[in-house]
Amino acid sequence: MLKPGILQRRLVGELIQRFEQKGLKIIALKIMHIDKSMAEIHYAEHRGKGFYEELAAYIVSGPVIAMILEAQEAISLVRRLIGSTNIHDALPGTIRGDFAAQTTLNIVHASDSKVSAEREMALFFKPEEIYDWEDGNAQWF
């Protein structure tokens, strides 16, 4: 998920390009607004932590771009492309390393396990919004 601010900063194309050029296959993509109840579900594991209120306020503060990306080992691949959650550990060349300066405002979110990916896909997408197209170029990635 590309978090609030990416549209205002005109970064959507640049960020999607990084996933595409790596070879990830986009099978769902939309602009959406995350409301308070969706934010509470999405960030339930962080409730009670010191940064929770700021995090929840940020994610509802503007439109986001939600995507489902497919690849072999997609979760670890995407997490390496986006960089560390802690912004001080996010290396240059990663999305967070290049475009974010604060951990709470860390510009992108990615599922950290198969279980969270399943939960987040179901939270943000209806089945008919997912399009698993035939990839004639899969052999090259």
Which residues form the catalytic set? 109
Stretch of 21-29, 65-73, 101-109, 113-121 contacting ligand CMP, by CB under 6 A? 101-109
**Residue 106 binds to ligand CMP (criterion: CB under 6 A):** yes
Instruction: Please select the residue that binds ligand CMP; options are 34, 55, 81, 90, rule is CB under 6 A.
Output: 55
Q: Closer CB to ligand CMP, residue 61 or residue 85?
A: 85
Comparing CA positions, the residue from 32, 27, 30, 104 lying closest to residue 62 is 32
Asked if residue 74 lies in contact with residue 25, where contact means CB atoms within 8 angstroms, the answer is no
Q: Around 62, how many Cα atoms within 13 Å sit in the side-chain half-sphere?
A: 10
C-alpha–C-alpha distance, residues 62 and 73, integer Å: 30
Stretch of 25-33, 70-78, 99-107, 133-141 contacting ligand CMP, by CB under 6 A? 99-107
**Residue 84 binds to ligand CMP (criterion: CB under 6 A):** no
Comparing CA positions, the residue from 62, 17, 55 lying closest to residue 39 is 55
User: What are the residues binding ligand CMP (CB under 6 A)?
Assistant: 46, 51, 55, 85, 103-104, 106, 109
